[in-house]
């Protein structure tokens, strides 16, 4: 896999792409859902934390660990 390029994956049941700022509400709903969180290592996320997380993800490059 080449580094630096992210290729979207779009199938009838899945869309894999980079986070967008417009994903904030959906991301927060997912992260704050108790039924989801009970199987994960998180509890909840604030708007500020979610915004920061999405911004951090936008700086990551494919093929580079982390």
| Domain boundaries of the chain, sorted by first residue | 20-59
| Tens digit of each residue's pLDDT (9 = 90 or more) over 4-20 | 677 889 999 999 888 88
> What pLDDT is attached to residue 4?
60
> What pLDDT is attached to residue 6?
75
Longest dimension (CA), the chain: 37
In angstroms, the CA 22 to CA 40 distance is 24
Number of Cβ atoms within 10 Å of the Cβ of 28: 19
| Tens digit of each residue's pLDDT (9 = 90 or more) over 36-65 | 888 898 888 999 999 999 998 888 777 777
């Amino acid at each position: 896999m080449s580094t630096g390029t992210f290729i979207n994956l779009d199938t009838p049941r899945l869309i894999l792409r980079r986070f967008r700022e417009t994903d904030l509400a959906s991301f927060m709903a997912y992260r704050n859902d108790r039924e989801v969180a009970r199987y994960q290592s998180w509890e909840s996320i604030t708007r500020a934390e979610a915004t920061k997380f999405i911004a951090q993800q936008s700086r990551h490059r494919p093929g580079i660990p982390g």
